[in-house]
Amino acid sequence: MQPDSTDSLFMELALQQARLAPSVGEVPIGAVLVSDNRVIAAAHNYREISQDPTAHAEIIIIRKAAEQLKTWRLTNTTLYVTLEPCPMCAGAIVQARIARLVFGAWDPKAGACGSILDIPSERRFNHRVQVTGGLYEEESRALLQEFFRTKRETLSEERKLSKSVSARRSDSF
């Protein structure tokens, strides 16, 4: 997909947020909320840090923006996120009255903005969100793939080390 320069700029900021996440043990998903070409809030996932299942990047920036703007109605805003939002986040986006959503990689396992469900376009809700998916899809997907590849390799090494230690202990008895 060919991005316009504004979308490109803000998705790059969301990708920067995503790149910060692995250094603190988080899945590399980043988000930025924009109003009038100004960043209102930016974050990455914090589920592991906070041990909070709702601490997705989208939820965090919706909370930050509502606090900063002193309103839960985030009309005339655009949310940029590196991965297609899940049902919880898609619902929060609709509830916050966000006007537009732009995301990177599609999520065929949990995506709720066109992959599995399409919550933002559901006509029975009183608010619909304009959705553009696939912006910087390759970059967003590559961050996720690298994170999980590294995580699998680390787990594999830890298992090997654990087996080695267990074998040495049993030999010493």
Terminal-residue alpha carbon distance, the chain: 63
Contact criterion met (CB below 8 Å) for 17 and 32:
yes
Name the active-site residue from 48, 58, 137, 146.
Answer: 58
- Any idea what the Cα angle at residue 85 is, between residues 17 and 107, rounded to 5°? 100
Q: Is 58 a catalytic residue?
A: yes
Report d(CA 89, CA 164) in Å as an integer: 43
- How does DSSP classify residue 96? T
Q: Which tokens is 32 given?
A: 């930025």
Report d(CA 166, CA 84) in Å as an integer: 42
DSSP SS3 for 11: helix
Residues identified as active-site: 58
